Structure 1
Amino acid sequence: MGKAREQFAGDHGTHERIRAIDDEVLFKVKIQRWRGAVWLDEDQPWLVAAGQREDGSADDFYAALEADANAARARHNSEHSKPLPGKTYVGPLLPTADDYARHRLEAGIRLVRRLVAELQDLTRGSLRDGHEHATDFPTFRLGVLVRADEGHETYVAVRITGSVPDDLAVVILRHVPGCDPQSWFPEYALPGRHLLPAEQAWSTVMEPQAAARLLEGG
């Protein structure tokens, strides 16, 4: 899995096709004795089969993959009036609707985990120096500004530059440390400047005790 992610992480590089498979384009992944077959759906790689290289053996990954694909084509043609062209059929190996749904769910979980970690770092960093701290995500930029006044409530502002769905904005505000998720108000300006056309912002207050705990935690 790690080798497949590494090999197909970018647009650069060439990939070796598994020539024995003719109904879909499958690419080879190699690491030590392990071999894999990767199918590309636009820019998304899917590792659809894997096994060990046993050159000359019926148990060899490539030999077994071809044999299974030949058998799958034969079964399909026996059950359907219109036969498939070519020699192989790897349709049963390709991702299903459930696989795509699982992939979207896992991607959402990874995004939330990253948001939580980044919000902790941004809030703590801004709390220490009073300046906005920001980071980039694929489709938006997230910034946090904390202004602390000793003995008083601490002002917190969150701004998003770019396009995000409303439910993601809610997730972001819910995970700002030390802040009540129900206490955010929309802002039309940030300290020292107005919002840009592509920006949206909210503000609230953080209790001094929460700010102290946040600083002590990292």
Structure 2
Amino acid sequence: MTVRPTLRCLREDLGVPLPPIDDPLDEIDHPLVRKANEQFASRTGPRERIRAIDDEVVFKVKAQRWRGAVVETGEPSWLVAAGVREEGSRDDFYEALAATAAAARARYNAEHRTPLKSETFCGQWLPREDDRDRYRAEAAVRTLRAMRATVHRLVCASLLDGHEHIGAAAGVELGVLVQGAEERGTYVALRIVGSVADNIVVVVLSLVPGCDRDGWYPEFAMPGRLLRPGEQVYSNLMDPVEAARLLESQEPV
């Protein structure tokens, strides 16, 4: 599982500005975030609970002088608070965190008719709707990034040997065949297997570089063979200059 800081923890505790949407918060280059993801990667890994907090199950994470508090909620889990242990100081981050949570509980009980029975209140640190919105937006970006990488890898492999290459991304099985078409350009056929929503088809086709997005046509056969059950095949012409650029930009297949 992954651990990501809440937006409040990111800005206020870690002092890190909010990165672009295509930079997942669980991949932030910060020692405490890295340590949290190492420590909580496995559900059976080491856990040390902050015993003084009793309204939520909160665990410790430590990296260098950094101290943090993690709440496990499945995928993802959350780094909800963080701080620095001052060299030579007697102040303990976790004791201070519990004291703040106890004060928050007192305020809550003063403001609400039904008091909390716990000794602490951590609601002010837990992930909010804007945290979940960010996570959902990142998930869409990660899916698109994975699909683009797969499509480009298959195109490059077929450009090199002229054979059909098969892969999968976001639960979609893909096949790509690229062949030379002399002066007209480079012929590319892309197959998608299974019942796939039209918007997914449009996205996948848009990820093939050097092709007119409006130039895709459905085919009734894959070059050299008939269609198999459940296959959809589309063809287009690829700009050979763009094909060469793609090959230059990719790692060896």
TM-score class, shorter-chain normalisation, is 0.7 to 0.9
TM-score (norm 2): 0.73
The equivalent of 1:129 in structure 2 is 161
The runs of 5 or more residues in structure 1 that have no matched partner are: none
The runs of 5 or more residues in structure 2 that have no matched partner are: 1-32
Give the AA of the match of 1:39: V
2:72 aligns to what SS in structure 1? strand
For residue 147 of structure 2, the aligned residue among 95, 99, 115 is: 115
For residue 194 of structure 1, the aligned residue among 213, 219, 227 is: 227
Deviation at 1:151, TM superposition (A): 3.6
Deviation at 1:3, TM superposition (A): 1.7
- C-alpha separation between the residues in 2 aligned to 1:32 and 1:57? 17
Q: Would the aligned equivalents of 1:18 and 1:28 in 2 still touch at CA under 8 Å?
A: yes
For residue 5 of structure 1, the aligned residue among 9, 24, 37 is: 37
> Are 1:61 and 2:93 an aligned pair?
yes
- C-alpha separation between the residues in 1 aligned to 2:167 and 2:99? 50
Q: How many residues are aligned here?
A: 216
Deviation at 1:78, TM superposition (A): 0.6
The equivalent of 1:172 in structure 2 is 204
Q: Would the aligned equivalents of 1:38 and 1:47 in 2 still touch at CA under 8 Å?
A: yes
- Deviations for 1:37-67, whole angstroms, at most 9, x for unmatched residues? 1112233211111112459733x22012101
> Are 1:21 and 2:49 an aligned pair?
no
Q: Would the aligned equivalents of 1:156 and 1:203 in 2 still touch at CA under 8 Å?
A: yes
- C-alpha separation between the residues in 1 aligned to 2:181 and 2:140? 36
- C-alpha separation between the residues in 1 aligned to 2:104 and 2:93? 16
In percent, how many aligned pairs have the same letter?
53
The equivalent of 2:186 in structure 1 is 154
The equivalent of 1:185 in structure 2 is 217
Over aligned residues, Cα RMSD in angstroms?
2.6
Q: Which moved further from structure 2: 21-30 or 131-140?
A: 131-140
